[in-house]
Amino acid sequence: MEQKVMLNGDPLAAKVATLVRREESLLKAGALQNAILNSANFSSIATDENGVIQIFNVGAERMLGYAAGDVLNKITPADISDAQEVIARAKTLSAELGTTIAPGFEALVFKASRGIEDIYELTYIRKDGSRFPAIVSVTALRDEQECIIGYLLIGTDNTARKHAEASLLKARALQNAIYNSANFSCIATDAKGVIQLFNVGAERMMGYTTAEVVNQITPADLHDQQEVIARAAALSIEFATPIAPGFEALVFKASRGIEDIYELTKIRKDGSRFPAMVSVTALRDAEEAVIGYLLIGSDNTARRQVEEERKRAEARAAEALRELKDVRAAIDEHAIVAITDPRGKITYVNDRFCGISKYSREELLGQDHRIINSEFHPKEFMRTLWRTIGDGRVWKGEIRNKAKDGTFYWVDVTIVPYLGKEGKPIQYISIRTDITERKHFELALQQTNAELETARYAAEKANLAKSDFLSSMSHELRSPLNAILGFAQLMESASPPPTVTQTKSISRILQAGWYLLKLINEVLDLAVIESGKVSLSKEPVSLSDLMNECQSMMEPQAQERGISMSFPLFENPVFVSADRTRLKQIIINLVSNAIKYNNEQGTVVVDCAAGASKRVRISVKDTGAGLPPEKLMQLFTPFNRLGQEAGSVAGTGIGLVVSKRLVELMGGVIGVQSSVGMGSVFWFELLAAQEPQVAAHSGEAKPVDRPEASDDAPRRTLLYVEDNPANMELVEELIARFPDMALVTAVNGTLGIEIARATVPEVILMDINLPGISGIKALKILRADPATAHIPVIALSANAMPRDLEKGLEAGFFRYLTKPIQIKHFMASVKEALECAARTGAEHITKTQCNDQLLGHS
């Protein structure tokens, strides 16, 4: 005889049918329109523009333990967050964005108020004082005029992920390197796709040995050919370019720097097939050239089966519910069902519940529900669950249970309270779905992410090595370039002057040389910025003064091409928070591009206007050919000149990338609007700043007396320490222009120190990279010797990175000059050093006193 289970005296089928009809009525009434705000799985907190809470959904009540009435129109979200974390976040944002941010609600929504996507983690504090980590996404709510009228903070409990991370660490999961993983296939190829690495996971998954595939086939040979052909066709349409149906189709996106994860059918050695999830990463060398690919795959069979089983179960359950035919049988067959009384005693379980828990029905009936408790979830989690259903509300979530044999399993649970006549729960119906396989998959995915993080760290180290390489190459390029430009400048200013033909040739040499130096500096600038070592000095900068300087600099270039330029006129002072030198670099770069890529007799309009969120927008508009949408997406890619490489306009494709990085480092944003035939508008926005207050000073600055050498002055000596003969010859030519100057040379630092002690020259020129001891070491020895401590030492080096200049000046050099030499700058520096030597040489004053006197020359 069929067992009947009664709910308040009625058959189970009738009661469940009543619940189903009630649920359908809710859906028809538009319950899904309140998905986010009524979700029990997410806390949704909406505030007004001042941060005072206006909406506090059921998810927030469940997560934080407050009723909506406890918080509405009373507190801000900062009041339920860890105060120390809020203070720390305010400090971090203040430093990051270069503005003072108050340690309260402003710190939680500051980025969102500026239109910046913001997701962060902090600790929430419940009403009972307990704490839990939460992931919070913040969105600014705006009216039709884009004015902020409030904020929406959507939070999720991050406790489970934190526990999972801790478990991973305890299990020392990170010690299992990607290439030794038996759970994932790791296949690495060369640039042409030929397999070079085939790990144990790939051998286990595919049935091949490493020797059978390495240097013999490509990964495309291990996939379903029809699927590869279909993927190639789809990508060809998506990217509007022909893609061959082979290995290229598997790695095309990754070769373009696009994240790519896809599902394809793999074929084992024995011919059997299985679905696999494949993640593809391009492997690059120090110059960012692709040298191969890494394909990480996982067997997707289990997840596919679980997904298909879930879909089939849902379809069968939906059909059974729609027809209302034997609801009890449908639930028993397709779901894990249990019923408890108000005290948590089990009154009913179906066969599937017994199967997954491994208890018989007799062992479960009458027992407390905690018989399957895994003690995995914190007590507050369980208290919140019972508080929710005890109030008559439906609870949904994921729970880990423990079976009779000690194994653990995960279920997705919906608990529906059945209310009696007095409106209080008299029974709880629990409907569960087995999600154990999905949880195992997520755990494996977390392990993969950790391994990929290790790979990312290795890539960052490689990027640092690239920057060091560029710095070294800069020195190697500057040394010969110094001789080329130096002697060309000597010939240009020689007496007697060169002929017209010689002048033209010299001009070509200088033009090409300075252009080469500009390219070297651009590459170095990008390397410094990308390495994160660029230093910015943000201050209020007057746009009126800066625009006048930029206009004066760019007028000759514009006139050469017949381009008319228009710069803004400022009725009132406008200041932005920026590094003045870098801001000028950005504007010059944008205006230079607008001139170079403009039509003949075109126009360039530079404008300045108020932007959103207390920002100032600077734009540069041209009347050039414009750009199609597909090229706009590639604009800010290093070394990409968008097909202009063969054109008449010289360039490297670096300027826009450097400009973008600098704008972002100064807390701004940059963008472009362009259309073919209509020209382009490049713009960037920076935070507005207050006009600085100039402090009043009493007294007048006194000019520094610089005595001129008389005609009968004694000959002076300059010591040049340099190991490059060409550079030494160049300096010899320059020093010859001082009629009373004698040049003494040394080819290494040790010899230079000996000569300096013997001759006590007025000035010393010192290379940095010398054989034996370096120029900086030699300087320290000279400074420590009372006989030579007073001599001004000028550094003359090809080490031209910003950190090289800082290091040299900190070491105590009088000046730090970089190769190639600019003759006017060089001659002026030597003259200043001679004047200093004339004042201090007789007295042999200390380094500190000399520096005090030199302040007038800095």
pLDDT of residue 137 exceeding 90, the answer is no
221-227: which pairs have CB atoms within 8 A and are 24 or more residues apart? 222/266, 222/267, 223/250, 223/264, 223/265, 223/266, 223/267, 224/264, 224/265, 224/266, 224/267, 224/273, 227/264, 227/265
Cis peptide bond N-terminal to 771, omega within 30: no
Give the integer Cα–Cα distance in Å for 224 and 264. Answer: 7
Alpha-carbon distances, residue 583 vs 431, 541, 616, 667 (angstroms): 62, 9, 13, 12
Sign of the dihedral through C-alpha 290, 291, 295, 296: negative
| Token pair 């362009």 in the structure block, residue | 674
671-678: which pairs have CB atoms within 8 A and are 24 or more residues apart? 672/627, 672/632, 672/635, 674/626, 674/627, 674/632, 675/626, 675/627, 676/625, 676/626, 676/627, 676/628, 677/625, 677/626, 678/626
CATH code of domain 35-157: 3.30.450.20
One fold for 35-157 and 175-303: yes
The answer to whether 301 and 295 are in contact (CB under 8 A) is no
Would you state the torsion angle of the CA atoms of residues 353, 357, 362, 363, taken in this order, to the nearest 10 degrees? -150
Tens-digit pLDDT profile for residues 637-672: 665 545 454 445 555 567 788 888 889 989 999 989
Count of C-beta atoms within a 10 Å radius of residue 413: 19
- What does the block give as tokens for 144? 């039709």
Sign of the dihedral through C-alpha 242, 256, 202, 215: positive
pLDDT number for residue 181: 65
pLDDT number for residue 72: 93
Grouping H, G, I as helix, E, B as strand and the rest as coil, residue 215 is coil
Please state, rounded to an integer, the average pLDDT across all residues of the chain. 81
Alpha-carbon distances, residue 73 vs 45, 52, 68, 127, 544 (angstroms): 12, 6, 10, 17, 46
pLDDT of residue 125 exceeding 80, the answer is yes
Alpha-carbon distances, residue 92 vs 79, 199, 664, 719 (angstroms): 19, 43, 16, 50
CATH class label, 335-434: alpha beta
pLDDT of residue 530 exceeding 90, the answer is no
Count of C-beta atoms within a 10 Å radius of residue 405: 8
- Enumerate the domain spans of the chain: 35-157, 175-303, 335-434, 538-689, 716-857
| Amino acid residing at 724 | N
pLDDT of residue 258 exceeding 80, the answer is yes
CATH class label, 175-303: alpha beta
pLDDT of residue 579 exceeding 50, the answer is yes
Domain 538-689 has CATH 3.40.50.2300: no
Average pLDDT of the residues in 422-449: 86
Tens-digit pLDDT profile for residues 466-485: 666 666 666 667 667 777 87
pLDDT number for residue 848: 43
Alpha-carbon distances, residue 20 vs 13, 16, 24, 416 (angstroms): 10, 6, 6, 11
- Pairwise pLDDT comparison (502 vs 354), residue with the higher score: 354
pLDDT number for residue 627: 85
Would you state the torsion angle of the CA atoms of residues 165, 167, 169, 175, taken in this order, to the nearest 10 degrees? -110
Alpha helices by DSSP H, 531-651: 543-560, 580-596, 629-632
% of the chain residues with pLDDT over 90: 32
CATH of 716-857, one of 2.40.10.340, 3.30.1330.10, 3.40.50.10420, 3.40.50.2300: 3.40.50.2300
Grouping H, G, I as helix, E, B as strand and the rest as coil, residue 511 is helix
pLDDT of residue 701 exceeding 60, the answer is no
Bridge partner list, 189: 195, 293
Going by C-alpha positions, the residue among 811, 287, 801 that lies closest to residue 533 is: 801
Give the integer Cα–Cα distance in Å for 599 and 623. Answer: 7
Tens-digit pLDDT profile for residues 174-227: 345 556 666 778 899 999 999 999 988 899 989 999 999 999 999 999 999 999
| Amino acid residing at 362 | E
774-778: which pairs have CB atoms within 8 A and are 24 or more residues apart? 774/749, 775/721, 775/749, 776/807, 776/808, 776/811, 777/749, 778/721, 778/749, 778/750, 778/752, 778/753
Q: What is the 3-state secondary structure (H, E, C) of 633-675?
A: CCCCCCCCCCCCCCCCCCCCCCHHHHHHHHHHHCCCEEEEEEE
Backbone angles phi, psi at 819, to 5 degrees: -85, 145
